[in-house]
Structure 1
Amino acid sequence: MTVEIPNIKSIAIIGAGPGGLASLYEFLHTNKDGTSTIRDPKSHTAPSPGNYPKAADPAFDKIVVFEQKDHPGGIWAPATLEADLPVPPQEILDAENYNDPRYVRPRTEVPEGVKGATVDKPFVTKGEPNTKSGNFKVRKQAEVPETEVNKSEGEQLIDELQWKRTGIFPFLFTNIPQRFTRFSYLPDEEEFHNKQRKIYPFLTHQELSQKFTDFVEQENLLEYIRLNSAVENVAKDKDTGKWIITVRHPQQNGDNLWYQEEFDAVVVSNGHYTVPYFPHINGLAEYNANFPNQLIHAKSFRDLEDFKDKDVLVVGGSISTANLLQYIVPVAKSVTNSKRGKHLVFAYINDALVSKGIDPRPEISYIDPKSGEFYFTDGTLGKYDKVLFTTGYHYHFPFFNPQDNYLSLVNPGNLSRVGGLYLHTIDQKDPTLGTVGIIVSHLNFHTIEASAAALAGVWSGASSLPNVDPEQKKWEDDLVNTRGNSLFFHFYDNHGAKEIIDDLEQYFAKGRYNPLIRDGEFVDEIDKGSDYLEKLFYGLKDKTIAIEETNDWKNETGKGEITKTEKSTKQDSEIPLLQKGVAGISVAEVPTTVPA
């Protein structure tokens, strides 16, 4: 027995980051007969990977990608110096639920009157001057009580609580070798295999951002993407069986254009690096009120001057912890690191976090909000000028009503897992709901590609899903028993990623090759890359390598250039509802149907 899938002709994709772009590309290359034009690269006649022809007889008539930013690329969209809030607003901190994504990124109230509004004839909510949102308010999940934020404050906060700005800082470089920061069908450029590059085998963030810009332009993907379009609600119409997507398009004068659109299937690819996680610590809320501008999440890190000659506490023990410590130690007066346990992914990090210039401490027990002293579980204490949280992010899907029970989180936090998925990709409750980007791996681009390819195969009718009960549920239960009920449920290292990619391959469209068919023989490069990361860490921390040698961002032009602001100078009347925002591409309305 297999799961019956309705005839799918229209697909909504939430998010134009790596997951959304991979999904769009896959759907555009799938034919009605369930065949893929992304054939085995070893037998493909193109001069280089890529250049695959779009489907001659496309399986899907309408594909729309909704992106809340003004550029595609997700976390790798061209970066700006503008950052999200360093911590959640004081009102949310005071509610003592700042470790709960339902408070930090609450649902948005959909206004009455939006029903029947279309992309061509949207419903308009008027905003007040100098406010960043329209006439709507912050809404918590059904089981979460309202905080004591009054409506006007809530209106002003709503845009900030989208957490949509990038976490990229000016001199960032990647931590995965270049070969695996690309989809398998894109070129593996020889220039990035030059061992004379100071950051070999990695890329600057500008270089990776440019790869996405080039990919979008060369494949004409932007015509399917609606920028500055926040999906605020996703619901299934029980009568029609269609998904109803409610979209908000903010204007610079504070107005918002709202509309609804229906689709046969939905891909959730809103990323895992958007909503920052702050651990709950006794005294933190009052400390922030008494000592403002001292707490900051890694997502909002931009300027080393903020840490110069300061006593700094860095909370966390992850790759981002080491990534920021290598820059902070040389400029700070003192650096303390508080973490809860060993790092399990990059082995060098455990030694790095206790190396010269870093005072290691265990977890924080509590903060004295009056004196500003931090007490640790070993009985020691310290007082700091700046406290940086490198504590990760939440999975979060605020556009779903919690009562509908789609993509429910198990143990919400930075180590939560997403429940009810088959192969981390297909919702067991409704096979017309898919996710791309839930898997966490050294080979993220390849696992993303595999999830997208599986959805294309299933939704085009090329492959069939096994019954939910017992097959799909058994797969999930077995994995929970093996890996536990946490983020590690979704984790596959560079040697284990083949397992999940092979499992997904059975659902690919016909002829679609396995993403590791060529790149799989090079997965050891990830292990070697860890050695390079270690050398770069000590070189930067001990000042034998200058930042400018790894990313001369002050002199960078063009490639993913960091700019002072992401705000346009156009008047509202000049901004169409659907607009393109990639450098070098003109602003224009976007068609909502896939051209034949």
Structure 2
Amino acid sequence: MTFSNTIKSVAVIGAGPSGLATAKALLAEGAFSKVKVFERQNQPGGVWVYNSQTRDTPLVPSVSANAQEPTKLDDKLQRAVYYSPMYKYLETNLPKYVMQYHELRFEENLPVFPPKSDVLAYIQEYAKPLTSAIRYNAEVRRVEKMHGNGPWTIEYVDYTQNYPQGTTYAEEFDAVVVSTGHYDLPFIPDVKGIAEWSQKYPGSVQHAKYFDDPQDFSGKTVVVVGNAASGVDISLQAANFAKKVYRSVAGPPLMPYGDDPRVQDVPVIAEYRPTTHEILLTDGQVLADVDVVVYCTGYLYTLPFLRTYMDAENPDCVLKPSGQRLHRVYKHMFYIPDPSLSFVGAPKQIIPFPMAETQGAVIARVYSKRLMLPDESEMRADEKLQEKKAGPREVDFHLFQFPGDFAYYRELESWIDEAGNTNANEFLPERWTDERYEQRAESYALKTALVKAKQAQGFI
């Protein structure tokens, strides 16, 4: 498939790990007159920019991709403040040699599972060559193409100018890459009574996005909902300080290091009873005097700047209100009705930094016409095939559990190879070798051993 117009300018939304990798790939092509990255924060790093700030979870429940958490303005700093899902004692759950970019290695003296501050420093080192291409303090409000063959309009606001209302700007581009991640809009299920409970006991229902310090749970009875990485990690941290920790789960812990005698696994919450301050579980058990419930239930995909592409009545909408997946996308990247709109970083349970380089390399080569897309009917058929493989649950569409992620990486790698080496400044992502496969396979075992060692020494 060819584009009706030659792509000469590309906007990248987000200067996190995915956006930075994509921008590098685009610039290396030497085929574009303008590559510009729009970042709402005042520095690169995306979710890895930790500032310890937190607040009561603003949306309880939170079940719609059409919702948007309000932007918080800081009068002292005179700019917008954004909240990261990072927390005080977070460290990676992937070894550094697995998660690193292709041509930038983590320092040898760092732990195998680096703390968040070292990861941020690493990302910002990677970002240095891109400084002139990044527009900071730019919260993108609208991305829209008014005419089929025309340019995309990017409208954004800079709150550091003309504070507090900010100054709004608009620019036009031939193509847009969305790399805003999927850790922004919390998912909190609409359990019976949850809204009334949250209203009666303000701050008692939280999402992991707004968790920071486990010492805040000192002497409290805590329910952690979820048994994936954040649910296991936060429940173990809470156990160091809380009076009692329950972990509400639908099955056994998804992380092999989740078992701990200080944490009691219980079934799913069926109902909140705010008048009696009780929580009913699906097995009929009642939890009394619960102080805090922390939802570690993941996030919804959200594209607040693409409102005109979120109409559920439109068969070509890219995101439905359920927020569980992107629709009409080829290989989890290209918007099939108009591939000049693309996405980086939609897949979950993957190795994010090198995957972003691989996806970015594909997008850059397609936009420079060194790689071609299939025709629209073939791309739609491929999406149908991926839907069939993923199964009936929309939430599983972008889910790549090892070794499924490696099959995806290698498919993209083969596609990149088709372009050949025709560029002196060729951007080459990590090669997905058998050695990296083995490293990926060992990562959970290494993390489990580390957590168990800390538990034995009383650090968790």
- Fold in common (TM above 0.5): yes
With over 3 angstroms needed to count, the CA separation of the structure-2 counterparts of 1:527 and 1:410, relative to structure 1, is farther
Q: Secondary structure at the match of 1:445?
A: helix
Once the two structures are TM-superposed, the CA of residue 260 in structure 1 deviates from its matched residue by 0.8
Once the two structures are TM-superposed, the CA of residue 444 in structure 1 deviates from its matched residue by 2.0
Once the two structures are TM-superposed, the CA of residue 523 in structure 1 deviates from its matched residue by 2.4
The size of the alignment, in residue pairs, is 446
Work out the CA distance in 2 between the residues paired with 1:518 and 1:99: 36
Once the two structures are TM-superposed, the CA of residue 326 in structure 1 deviates from its matched residue by 1.9
The residue number in structure 2 matching 1:474 is: 381
Q: 1:103 aligns with which of 67, 71, 74?
A: 67
2:155 is the counterpart of 1:208: no
User: Matches of residues 406-421 of structure 1 in structure 2 within 5 Å?
Assistant: 408-409=318-319, 412-413=322-323, 416-421=324-329
The residue number in structure 2 matching 1:382 is: 287
Once the two structures are TM-superposed, the CA of residue 468 in structure 1 deviates from its matched residue by 1.1
2:408 is the counterpart of 1:436: no
The residue number in structure 2 matching 1:124 is: none
The residue number in structure 1 matching 2:183 is: 273
Instruction: Give the partner amino acid of 1:423.
Output: K
Q: 1:222 aligns with which of 128, 131, 134?
A: 131
Once the two structures are TM-superposed, the CA of residue 443 in structure 1 deviates from its matched residue by 1.9
Deviation per CA, 1:487-516: give whole Å up to 9, x if none.
322222343323222332354353257644
What percentage of aligned pairs have identical amino acids?
29
Work out the CA distance in 2 between the residues paired with 1:129 and 1:188: 34
Deviation per CA, 1:54-76: give whole Å up to 9, x if none.
xxxx2011111111111111011
The residue number in structure 2 matching 1:82 is: 53
Give the TM-score normalised by structure 2. Answer: 0.90
Once the two structures are TM-superposed, the CA of residue 247 in structure 1 deviates from its matched residue by 0.6
With over 3 angstroms needed to count, the CA separation of the structure-2 counterparts of 1:441 and 1:335, relative to structure 1, is closer
Once the two structures are TM-superposed, the CA of residue 132 in structure 1 deviates from its matched residue by 11
The residue number in structure 2 matching 1:24 is: 23
Q: 1:524 aligns with which of 413, 417, 438?
A: 438
The residue number in structure 1 matching 2:12 is: 13
> Which segment drifts farther, 175-184 or 526-535?
526-535
Q: 2:87 aligns with which of 165, 169, 172?
A: 169
Work out the CA distance in 1 between the residues paired with 2:223 and 2:214: 14
Q: Secondary structure at the match of 1:102?
A: coil
2:459 is the counterpart of 1:546: yes
With over 3 angstroms needed to count, the CA separation of the structure-2 counterparts of 1:387 and 1:242, relative to structure 1, is same
Q: Secondary structure at the match of 1:231?
A: strand
Instruction: Give the partner amino acid of 2:102.
Output: S
The residue number in structure 1 matching 2:390 is: 483
Give the TM-score normalised by structure 1. Answer: 0.70
2:297 is the counterpart of 1:391: yes
Work out the CA distance in 2 between the residues paired with 1:472 and 1:503: 15
The residue number in structure 1 matching 2:154 is: 245
C-alpha contact 2:226 2:232 (8 A) present in aligned 1: no
C-alpha contact 1:337 1:360 (8 A) present in aligned 2: yes
Once the two structures are TM-superposed, the CA of residue 367 in structure 1 deviates from its matched residue by 0.3
> Which segment drifts farther, 500-509 or 274-283?
500-509
Once the two structures are TM-superposed, the CA of residue 408 in structure 1 deviates from its matched residue by 2.4
Instruction: Give the partner amino acid of 1:365.
Output: A
Once the two structures are TM-superposed, the CA of residue 133 in structure 1 deviates from its matched residue by 10
Instruction: Give the partner amino acid of 1:254.
Output: P
C-alpha contact 1:458 1:507 (8 A) present in aligned 2: no
C-alpha contact 1:501 1:514 (8 A) present in aligned 2: no
Q: 1:358 aligns with which of 236, 240, 263?
A: 263
Once the two structures are TM-superposed, the CA of residue 341 in structure 1 deviates from its matched residue by 3.0
With over 3 angstroms needed to count, the CA separation of the structure-2 counterparts of 1:477 and 1:411, relative to structure 1, is farther
- Cα-Cα RMSD: 2.7
Structure 2 unaligned residues grouped into runs of 5+: none
Q: Secondary structure at the match of 2:12?
A: strand
Once the two structures are TM-superposed, the CA of residue 463 in structure 1 deviates from its matched residue by 1.2
Work out the CA distance in 2 between the residues paired with 1:129 and 1:228: 13
Work out the CA distance in 2 between the residues paired with 1:71 and 1:204: 19
Q: Secondary structure at the match of 2:67?
A: helix
With over 3 angstroms needed to count, the CA separation of the structure-2 counterparts of 1:292 and 1:535, relative to structure 1, is same
Deviation per CA, 1:410-447: give whole Å up to 9, x if none.
5725xx12111101011101011111001223322222
C-alpha contact 2:140 2:155 (8 A) present in aligned 1: yes
Work out the CA distance in 2 between the residues paired with 1:133 and 1:191: 38
Work out the CA distance in 2 between the residues paired with 1:239 and 1:314: 48
Work out the CA distance in 2 between the residues paired with 1:433 and 1:186: 29
C-alpha contact 1:330 1:543 (8 A) present in aligned 2: no
Instruction: Using CA pairs under 8 Å that are at least 6 residues apart, name the structure with larger relative contact order, 1 or 2.
Output: 1
With over 3 angstroms needed to count, the CA separation of the structure-2 counterparts of 1:428 and 1:342, relative to structure 1, is farther
Work out the CA distance in 2 between the residues paired with 1:518 and 1:293: 45
C-alpha contact 2:347 2:400 (8 A) present in aligned 1: yes
Q: Which has the larger radius of gyration?
A: 1
Once the two structures are TM-superposed, the CA of residue 478 in structure 1 deviates from its matched residue by 0.9
Work out the CA distance in 1 between the residues paired with 2:46 and 2:354: 16
C-alpha contact 1:450 1:501 (8 A) present in aligned 2: yes
Work out the CA distance in 2 between the residues paired with 1:391 and 1:543: 28
Once the two structures are TM-superposed, the CA of residue 276 in structure 1 deviates from its matched residue by 1.2
Once the two structures are TM-superposed, the CA of residue 239 in structure 1 deviates from its matched residue by 6.7
Q: 1:319 aligns with which of 217, 226, 229?
A: 229
Q: Secondary structure at the match of 1:536?
A: helix
Once the two structures are TM-superposed, the CA of residue 330 in structure 1 deviates from its matched residue by 1.9
Work out the CA distance in 2 between the residues paired with 1:314 and 1:342: 14
With over 3 angstroms needed to count, the CA separation of the structure-2 counterparts of 1:507 and 1:264, relative to structure 1, is farther
2:240 is the counterpart of 1:330: yes
With over 3 angstroms needed to count, the CA separation of the structure-2 counterparts of 1:391 and 1:321, relative to structure 1, is same
Q: 1:537 aligns with which of 440, 451, 457?
A: 451
Structure 1 unaligned residues grouped into runs of 5+: 31-57, 109-127, 135-158, 548-596
Work out the CA distance in 2 between the residues paired with 1:296 and 1:514: 42
